[in-house]
Amino acid sequence: MNYSIPKDIFVKAAKEYGTPLWIYNRETIEERVKETKVFDVVRYAQKACSNLSVLALMKRLGVVVDAVSAGEIVRALKAGYKGGIEKGKAPEIVYTADIFDADALELVKQHKIPVNIGSPDMIEQLAAAGIRTDLTLRVNPGFGHGHSSKVNTGGDLSKHGVWHEQIKECVKLAQKHGMWISGLHMHIGSGSDFEHLAKVCDSMCDAARALGSHLKTISAGGGLPISYKEEEKGNRIDMQLYFELWDKARKRIEQSIGHSVSLEVEPGRYLVAESGYLVSEIRAIKKQADNTFYLVNAGFTDLVRPSFYGSYHGISIIACDDRELNESENVIVAGPLCESGDVFTQEEGGFVVTRNLPKAQVGDLLILHDAGAYGASMSSNYNSRRYAAEAMYSKGELKLIRERQSFEQMLQNDKVIDF
């Protein structure tokens, strides 16, 4: 396995901060942002990794953000992003969801956050709250795709977005309440392949006809894939070709409506996945009949993707005593949770598989690669396990960007009452 961070940094970090531990490489994030800058606007889907230092880095790199909850609005504001719309500029924060809860609606109103509508009911609720604003419409084009059925966000079995046949209905509803739909957004799924991503261009052109001259912005959404397997690393998405496909669609739309349109892209995984490593320690090696298990001190409470989606992550071993790792064996890598599904080497459907890894011993570090997206942000306190610490590697230095949760912090909102 390749490392974008010197291997000795992992050893030093484990000793200083303990494990499990998240480490992100700032340089990798900067490289991915640079690649996506061919688009007019890069809007980061912060749900992928919402650490405040990561958000602050995105802001310094000229990336704006998407928020899918009240908490993500608060995070964006804390990182220095501002609400409102400044003429000639993309809004720094856009709220995208299929519903409003009370907190989100209040924050949208208080900070003048533009909204990317995912349900017609949201237009009525904005009006009832006394909010009048230009809107973006997230359109479900009638098809979807993704690396797992659980991340397919298009088609008639998806809850996401406004069904493509209801666009005109939403336009009339917005106009009724003194609002205009000035933007269109489409996102068909996470980790989609190039063929399916390209199909969205035609659907966007179809949807644009319903908005006409009021259209100011189109968003290609996210879903940009990365290669998690080492042998596929050379097959990166051709970002220039992807942009050119969307640029052609944009020009068709501009010709139709008679004025220029801004073109956004909304990556999450693509910007942060390859920057991240989950560092764990092997705490037991055991035989179960013919199977060898490496049991580590990280579980699906830290990285849930393998258990939830059957996702693949590269795995490497770093010896705790600098010995050479010359031999290998087929092993199952699993975590400490009281759950049979707490296995890092499994496929979609929960099928446990082995991985050929160096022969290890208790105390060695086991590193899960490409874990920067939907890793820490999907962590939980299940089994009363604490959130792991997070660190950023930047210019040869490693800095802590989130401390490990203490037991006191984990329990601070619980109350013991008298029965």
Phi-psi region of 359 (alpha: psi -120 to 50; beta: other; left: phi over 0): beta
DSSP-derived letter for residue 152 is: B
Strands 276-288 and 365-368: antiparallel
Residue 242 Cα distances to 144, 200, 224, 388, angstroms = 17, 11, 10, 36
Residue 338 Cα distances to 251, 272, 345, 381, 405, angstroms = 55, 30, 17, 13, 20
Residues with catalytic roles: 338
Which of 254-282 are b and which e, b meaning 16 or more Cβ less than 10 Å from the residue's Cβ?
Answer: eeebeeebbbbbbbbbbbbbbbbbbbbbb
In angstroms, rounded to a whole number, what is the distance separating the alpha carbons of residues 303 and 34?
A: 27
If you write DSSP's letter for every residue of 27-47 in order, what string do you get?
Answer: HHHHHHHHHHTTSSEEEEEGG
- The separation between CA 336 and the C-alpha centre of its own chain, rounded to angstroms, equals 25
Closest CA to 388 of 272, 317, 300, 261: 300
Pair of tokens at residue 378: 């999907």
Alpha helices in 44-193 (DSSP H): 52-60, 70-78, 102-111, 120-128, 167-176
Q: How many CB atoms lie within 10 A of CB 103?
A: 13
In angstroms, rounded to a whole number, what is the distance separating the alpha carbons of residues 41 and 266?
A: 8
In angstroms, rounded to a whole number, what is the distance separating the alpha carbons of residues 143 and 152?
A: 9
Pair of tokens at residue 95: 């709220």
